Structures are given as C-alpha cells and as structure tokens.
Structure 1
Amino acid sequence: MTTTSTTSTALELGNNHRNEQQQRTTTTTTTTTTTIQLRGALAAPDSSSDSDDLDPILEASRIADSTVPDGGHGWVVICACAVVSFWLTGVNYSWGVMQSALVDAGLGSPSALSFAGSIPATLISVMAMPNARIVRRLGARWTAVAGISVIGLAQILSGFCVTAASLPGLYVTAGVMLGVGMSLCFTVCSVTPAQWFKRRRGLANGLVFAGGGLGGAIITIVEGLLIQRFGAAWAYRVMGLATLATGLPAAVFIKERSAVAVVGTIEWRLFRDVRFSLMFVAGAIATFPLLVPAFFLPLYSSSLGLSAGTGAALLAGFNFSSAVGRILCGLLSDKAGPINTMFGCLLVSSLGMLVLWPTSTTVGPLAVFAVLNGAANGGFFSTIPTVVGNVFGSARVVVALGMIVTGWAGGYLMGAPIAGYILDAYGGQEGGLHAYRPAMFYAGSLAFAAAVLVAAMRLRMNVPLLGKV
C-alpha cells in the first residue's frame, strides 16, 4: 500500500528549507505515524492529556502563521488597537485617583468604592466567552466601535451620578456600563494582533497593551488636574468626551486579516491538557493581587502624609512603568519565550509586594516600588495573549483566551475589595502604616503562588531549563 507521509514539523531543530521540501514529497510503502512537534511556538497537547490524533486547530494555526505578513498593514492595526487599549485600560488603572477623590467627598468607604472599581475588570472576565461570538458576528472593527462608544457614554453618565451623590448609580455607570465596553474592546485588542504577526507577536501584543499603560499614566495625571480644578463630576464628563473623540476614529482602522471559524464558545478538551489547567488556575489567582497597588497607592501615600498630587504622580509612574514593561516584556517574549517572561513578571510582582512595599515609608522607596511593580504588572497582561497563541494555537486564541480570562472574574471582582476589607479590619486609613501591611502580604502571597504555577507549567513544556518557551 502506498501512502504519503504527513509532514513532520520540528521547529527549532534547524531543518533547512530544502530538507523540508523533500519531506513534503516523500512517499513510502508503509503507513507512517508522524507526530507534529511544535516546540515553543506551537506545542502540541501532551499525549497524556489529549488524544494522539493530530489537533486540527493547531494544524490550522501552523498554516495561518506561515503566511502572516509580520508587518505592513499590521502596524496600522496595532496602532489602532493601542489607542483603544489606551482608554480601555487607562480608565480602569486611573481609578485610584478617582476613588481617593470620592472617598474625600464622602461618597463611600474605600472598600465600597474599590468594589465599584472592580466591576469593570470583572465583566471583562464574565463576558470573555460571549464576546468571542460577538467578535465573530460583528467583526473586530464594529465590536471595537461599540465598546468605545459604551466606555465614553459610561464616563459621561458617571459624572451625573457623582453630582447626585449616588453610589448605586455609580455601580451601574462606572461599574457595569464601563465594564461592558471594556470587555468588548479587550477581546478585540487581545485576539487581533495574532492574525498579523508571528515572529514579532510578543512585540505586537506588548505595543497594544503598552497603550493601556500609557493611558493609565496620562489619564491619571489629567484626571487628577481636572478633579482639583473642576471636581470629580466634570472630570468624568471631560474624559468621556475625549474617549469618544479619539477612540472612535481609531476603532475604525481595526481590521481582521482573516476570520477563523470557531464552533461554540468553549473547548472543554483543553482542560485535559495539564498546561492549560495550570495556566487557567495561575491566571485566576494572579488577578487577585494585580490591581491592589493601582487602587491603593494614592490612599497609602495619603497615609504617609504626602499630598494628593504626589499620590497621583506615584500612580502615574506606576502606569507609565506598566506601559514600558509591556513593550519590554513583549520584546523579551520574542527572545526568551513568553512563559519564561510571564514567570519573571509574577516573581518580581510578588517580591515587590512582600518585601519592598511594606518597608516603603518615604516617597523614594515607594516610587521604586511603583516603577518595578508597574512594569511587572503590565508585563503579565501583555504576555498572556502571546502564551495562549503560541502554546495552544493562534487559530483558537479567541476561545482559549476567553476561557482563561473567564477564570479571572473572582480576582477582578474581589481582589482589591478584599484588600480594602483587610485594611478596614486593621484600622483603615487612620490606623497608620501598619494597617496596610496585612493587605500587602495578602496580595504578595497570591502573586507568588501564581508564579509557582506558571513555573510548573513551564516544566511541562519538554524544553531544556534554560530554553526559550
């Protein structure tokens, strides 16, 4: 019996183009069982956790990745996604400044307002899988347009809720509405770069999410100035109008390179892959502490006796470092591997919250903590899409990423509020610096646990300890 053998793809084994061409045309007289080895870039599911059959989605990903332009019009799409990310992430990361102003105005306690600030990020997780269907039905462009429109409108309406001193209304506008818009934009910005880039995928994702870090820095400064001059209500309205004026034109330039058919919104078989399960749990744990510094730096600086302007500047430094960290970690992902990079980010984040932040009693060490933790925080978020696309296939990134992000709901919803409850239990802002330390240790311990799980996932990749993965 004459059969044509399946092409054996072995990335990083140094096969030259000529040998690959010969392999594609080899004919044998026996049935040949060939394993597709996709190291680092497209690792096949472990035989212990998946069937031995060829994963058709991984194969589709390999074919799609072989034709990506790695540039050209892709850079226009990346720039447009970065502008959308500027608003989707920046508005959320600047919440600490608005929260501090609303606490001073007596609108609510730190824990109650932290809960309001956690709702948008939570909805990013809750809506992750439904958004996969929305993107496939509307397309990336119109999904982004809808998301930006809702973000802008939510901020404008939040201004009226502040004027009316309505905390429940703020939950609806600055919480639920803002979260719906952010979730739509997050899905678009997370899955679109993989269609345009392969070799530079880490850099592309880093640039997109760096827009969010830069947005957090700029919005924090501008919002702080607006609050001081016009009050929180008008700060909300001005930022909402600015979102619509700049975000909508950018969203129009977002374009899908190709639409990959996706059946359903969840692929349960992925949980049979131990690596996916470890990634899912690590992400679920990591999101509990990641927003704690962004939400509590202004409050902590106030307890140190620093001015509100200094607190806003520290948060701006945190967000600017987040932008730089996203780009640097994107480059590092392409050089050292996204899983290695993600592990490093979580380790730095955990050590910062366990060691540096609790001992920061003056503005100098606190600024160092803000810079280091901001960079690590941003790096974590920018490496997630690259890890998912490289390990589990770019053709399934919408579904796989949606499943992983869904697991972040608990951390996004309760991570910062738990820190707020711990702070209140130990005396609140009036309790002195020691009242903050239990919350810091809570956040740092969870970040370290997530780093351990990512390390376990990395060991499952069957790549040398110092290898790129």
Structure 2
Amino acid sequence: MSERAAERRPSEGRRGPPVPDGGFGWAVCLASMWTNGTIFGLLNTSGVLFVSLLESFPGSDAFQTAWVGSTAIGVTFFCSTLASVLTDQFGCRPTAIAGGVVAFVGMLSSSAVTHLQQLYLTYGVLVGLGSSLAYTPSLVILGHYFQKRMGLVNGLVTFGSSLFTMVLPIVLKFMLRKIGLFPTFRVLSGLVATLVLCGCVYTPLIEKQRPRAVGDGTAPVNDRKRTFVEKIKKHLNLGIWRNRRYVIWAIGVPFALFGYFVPYVHIVNYVRHVMPRANGAALVTYMGAASGVGRLVFGKVSDFACVNRIMLQQLSFLMIGIVTTLLPVLRHYYALVCAVLVLGIFDGCFVALIGPIAFDLVGPEDASQAIGFLLGLASVPLTVGPPLAGWIYDYTGSYNAAFFYSGAPPIIGTCILFLVSLGRFSAEENVEKQFPFLTEESAPFHEKIFVTDEGPICWRFQPQNKCTTCVTNEHYRIYTVGQPNLHHTHRRTHQHTDRVHMASSSKLQESQKDKKNRIKSMFDSGTQVT
C-alpha cells in the first residue's frame, strides 16, 4: 500500500479483534442499508407529503407546511451528537433499538393529529429523534466489520436510501390517493417499526473499556457533581475539535447544506405550478435512482488510494450548487429530468463519503462522535433551508429566487473545503525534508522524532489513548515533548517506551543544526535521554 493510502486508513491502529471484512458483516451491512433506506426514504419524499399536507390543512401556507418535514430533517441531524454519545456509552444495538421505538411512536401518533402544528411534535420531533438514534449506530457499526472495503460498504449502505427514495414516492402517491393522509401514516409506522429489528443485528466487535466503580456510593454531593461533570466530559469527546482539518470539514459541509434539501421538498410543488400535467413525484424517484448509482460508484471509487475523498466531496457540492441554480430556467420536463439525475448522482457522492472521510480524519474510535458533531451542525441549515425557500415562494409567488439562493451555499462550501486539502501534507513533507534519515524503519516502536520551531516532536504511527498534549493529524499522534511535566504526563498516559526524548527545556536553546546532529547520533547509538 502506498504511503498516502496508509496515511488515509487510520483503522490500522485500532484495538480489538481483526476486522473480518465480510462474514456476518454483510448481514450488518444489509441491516444498516435498510435503516438508511427507511429513514432517508421518508425524509427525501417530504415533497410528496408536502402537497398532501397543503390539501389536508387548507389554512396553512407553504412556509408553515414546510416546517413539518424540515423539523424531522433537522432533529434527525441535530440529535446525532446525542446519538453518538449514547452509542459510545451503551453500544450500537441498544441505541438503535431505542431509536426504532421512538420513531414508531411518533409516526403512529401522527395519524391522530387534528392540527398541522401537532405534526411538528409527532412527525418532526419524535420521528426525527428516533431516526437519529437509529441512524448514527448504523454508520458506526460498519467500522467494526469492514476496513479495506469501507468505501464500497458505505456506498451499499447509503444506496438503501436511494432505493427507498425511488419506490416510496410511487407507493405514497398511491396510498394518499386511495386511503388518505392519516391512514398512510399508520402504514408508515409499520415500516418504521422494522428499525427495531435492524438494531438487533448490530453486534459490536470493539468493546468499550469502562472503569470499575469504586466505593460504596456514599461520596459527598460535591464529589458526585464533579464526577457527573467529568463523566459528561469523558463521554463527550471534545478532543476531536483540536484536529484542524476536521474543524474545517465540520464548518464547510454544514454551510454547503443550506440548499441541499430544497429540491427534495419543493420540486413536486414547483412542477405542479409550472407544468400542471407533469408528474412531479416521478422526479423524486429519478433523483433517488441516480443517487443510488452515485453512492455505489463513488463509494467504490473512493477506495482507490489515488483518490482524494475531500476533493471528491467538493466536486459533488459544486455540481449540486450549479444544477440547483439552473432549475428555474429549465422549462421543459425532460430538461428537469436530466437536472435531477445529475443532482441525484452527486448527492449520492456526498452521502457515501461522510463515513469514510470521518474515519480518515479522526480514526475509527473517534468516528462516532465526529459524525455526530458534523450532523448536529448540519441540522441548522437542513432545518432552515426548505422553510426559507417556502417563505421566498410565498413572498414572491415564484420558485425562481428560492432555487437561485439555494444553489449558492454549496458552491461557497466547496471553496471552504479547499482549506482541508491544501493543508494535507505540509507538516509531514516539511519534516521529511529536514530529517530524511528519520524513516519509518529507523524509528523503533513506529515512531519518528524530529525538531520543529516549537521544539522536539515525537511522531507515532499507531494511535494510542488520548493525551492532553496530543494533536491528532490523520492516524498519527503528534506529541510535543519539550516540557518535562507535560512529557511525563504523556508517557504515563500512553505507557510507551521512548527511544529519544528531550526532557530538559534548556536543551531547546541549541541550534537547529546541533539538534539534527545530536538526534541522528542518538538514533545511531540507541541512547535514551532522561
């Protein structure tokens, strides 16, 4: 495997049993695919329900009605951080089962509402919360069973939402016409109940190490409060926010998603007004089919070592933004079909890369909360985008401005993500130019020791437990060891043997040339500095 490919596959340093890359993992993959299909099939077909809600509640306008599906979308992503913490604490299986139960209750309750605003709670909050609790474990569990085929498996899993998005518009349109809106909600509650069965399949391979309880539980109240706060800090992994590349990614992606769901929610109503005789629901089906193709193709493509996954995601946002801005000028139905096909393909590209990029940036053990934080941040634009487009439509009487404004954020988000790619190799290449003798083979225990302007650095190839002096960069852990106290904490936490370390701050005053020569001689002689 090339050096770049090795750098991008952080799961090599994971603890636990070997990754099977198959076997029972395919059953897990199938359950995860069904979960993704059920959740996002319903969210992506909000446009079909949107038209039926307008007809069932005549006093509501597009802005009010759009909040039903938009709230469900927003809560699904907003609660992803909570879902990731619960997944880390209790495991993938209990969290996913609880999510299926909550979503079932919410969908069944939606069939008994009498006012549109009640759907904000039943469909928006409860279904959204349950979907979030079921969705996050379905991504995290994949890292337990797959490593070499991670991109392909994520493509297969996310293909489930495309498959359901292809079928559900046709089924929903038929049921809404035959039995009406509220009986349709009862049928959908049966579909949502299958999330419980899918959660039962998620058998984790990486067990969490939980400390044993000490004492008889009679600690002072202040100690208990402090312990509770420490537990929250422990389970809420804030360390990933010291990873600058992840921070940039977590800012750029949510910004690009302001207009992401607007076509899904409003395309049916748009066609209904512009082309009354055309089948707007079919466009959602075409979009879902194209998205499925995109997830499979780009999921496989992203596994190649020569492919930069960040840049591939940038391409998807750029195309989504351009096509969304062009929707108002396409006045022929078949032109719209071509547009939604392009939207679907690159939508599939974006979705299929979320999991693999998170694993690339923070590693498998931190990927759960990395995905959770990202989706939590994405909840705001995903919630606000469709209602804002509906408000623009109510105000102007046309979808032209709504689609124009919705296409701008993905293009701007593309530019933001350039900061992730440009900073990829700068630090590593600079070190290798300064110290060509510090190769992977010359450093014991998979370490490299080198000197920077800030002081000596220890570069480990295998990730260990977290440390207050660590900064995550790809799957390496970079430790500053110039200060004796911090270095002592670092060594006690990680319990690794250091071949070369700097324990005296006075030695940091010597010239860079002397540092290079001394470190080289230490490697040659095997001397350890204390």
TM-score range, shorter chain: 0.7 to 0.9
Q: Using the alignment, how far apart are the partners of 2:15 and 2:314 within structure 1?
A: 28
1:114 and 1:201, CA in 2 relative to 1: closer, same or farther beyond 3 A?
A: same
* Matched residue type, 1:343: Q
Distance 2:191 2:387 in 1: 29
1:126 to 52, 73, 78: 78
Q: Does the CA-based 8 Å contact 2:320-2:407 persist in structure 1?
A: yes
Q: Residue deviations 1:78-137, cap 9 Å, x none?
A: 001111111111111111100111112326211112112111221223222222232234
What TM-score, normalized to structure 1?
0.81
- The alpha-carbon distance between structure 1 residues 129 and 242, as it changes in their structure 2 partners (threshold 3 A), is closer
Residue equivalent to 1:63 = 14
Equivalent runs, 1:346-425 vs 2, <5 Å: 346-355=317-326, 357-425=327-395
Cα 1:64–1:307 shift into 2, 3 Å: farther
1:144 equivalent in structure 2: 96
8 Å CA contact retained: 2:245, 2:361: no
Residues 162-189 of structure 1 deviation map (CA, whole Å, 9 limit, x = unaligned): xx2x112111111011111111011112
Report the equivalent of 1:258.
Answer: 206
Instruction: After TM superposition, give the deviation of residue 64 of structure 1 in Å.
Output: 4.1
Gaps of 5+ in 1: 1-10, 15-36, 43-59, 428-434
Shift of 1:250: 2.7
Distance 2:3 2:284 in 1: 45
What is the identity, as a one-letter code, of the residue corresponding to 1:450?
Answer: G
Q: CA 1:110 to 1:378, structure 2 compared with 1: closer, same or farther past 3 Å?
A: farther
Tell me if 1:461 matches 2:424: yes
Unaligned runs of 5+ residues in structure 2 are 211-232, 429-473, 475-530
Q: Which residue of 2 aligns with 1:54?
A: none
Code of the residue aligned with 2:25 in structure 1: it is: G
- 2:167 corresponding residue in structure 1: 218
Deviation of 1:396 after TM superposition, in Å, equals 0.5
1:316 aligns with 2:264: no
8 A Cα contact 1:140 1:255, kept in partner: yes
Identical pairs, percent: 23
Count the aligned residue pairs: 403
Query: What is the SS of the residue equivalent to 2:3?
Result: coil
Aligned-pair distance for 1:370? 1.2
SS of the residue 1:295 aligns to: helix
Cα offset for 1:211?
A: 0.7
Counterparts of 2:418 and 2:108 in 1: how far apart (Å)?
43
> Which residue does 2:493 correspond to in 1?
none
1:40 aligns with 2:30: no
Asked whether 1:98 is paired with 2:61, we answer no
Tell me if structure 2 keeps the 8 A contact 1:107–1:167.
no
TM-aligned CA deviation for residue 390 of structure 1: 1.5
Change in CA separation of 1:251 and 1:269 when aligned onto 2, cut-off 3 Å = closer
With normalisation by structure 2, the TM-score equals 0.72
Say which of 303, 319, 328 aligns to 2:273. 303
Is the Cα–Cα contact under 8 Å of residues 155 and 300 in structure 2 kept in the other structure? yes
Cα deviation per residue 1:375-396 (whole Å; 9 max; x = unaligned)? 2123212211110111211111
Deviation at 1:461, TM superposition (A): 1.3
Deviations 1:222-242 (A, max 9, x none): 111100111111111112123
Question: What secondary structure is seen at the aligned counterpart in 2 of 1:160?
Answer: coil
> Cα RMSD over matched residues?
2.3
Change in CA separation of 1:154 and 1:61 when aligned onto 2, cut-off 3 Å: farther
Q: Report Cα offsets for 1:239-283 as digits up to 9, x if no partner.
A: 212332x43333322222213459734443433333112101112
Larger radius of gyration: 2
Aligned residue identity for 2:366: R
For residue 339 of structure 1, the aligned residue among 307, 310, 318 is 310
Once residues 22 and 177 of structure 2 are traced to their aligned partners in structure 1, the CA distance between those partners, rounded to angstroms, is 43
Kindly indicate whether structure 1 or structure 2 has the higher relative contact order, using CA contacts under 8 Å at least 6 residues apart: 1
What are the within-5 Å matches in structure 2 for residues 14-93 of structure 1? 39-42=7-10, 62-64=13-15, 67-93=18-44
> What do residues 177-224 of structure 1 show as CA deviations (whole Å, max 9, x unaligned)?
111111101111221111211111111111111111212221221111
Against the structure 1 CA distance between its residues 114 and 360, is the aligned structure 2 distance closer, same or farther, given a 3 Å change threshold? same
- Contact map agreement 1:144 1:251 (CA 8 A) in 2: yes
- State the partner residue of 1:446: 409
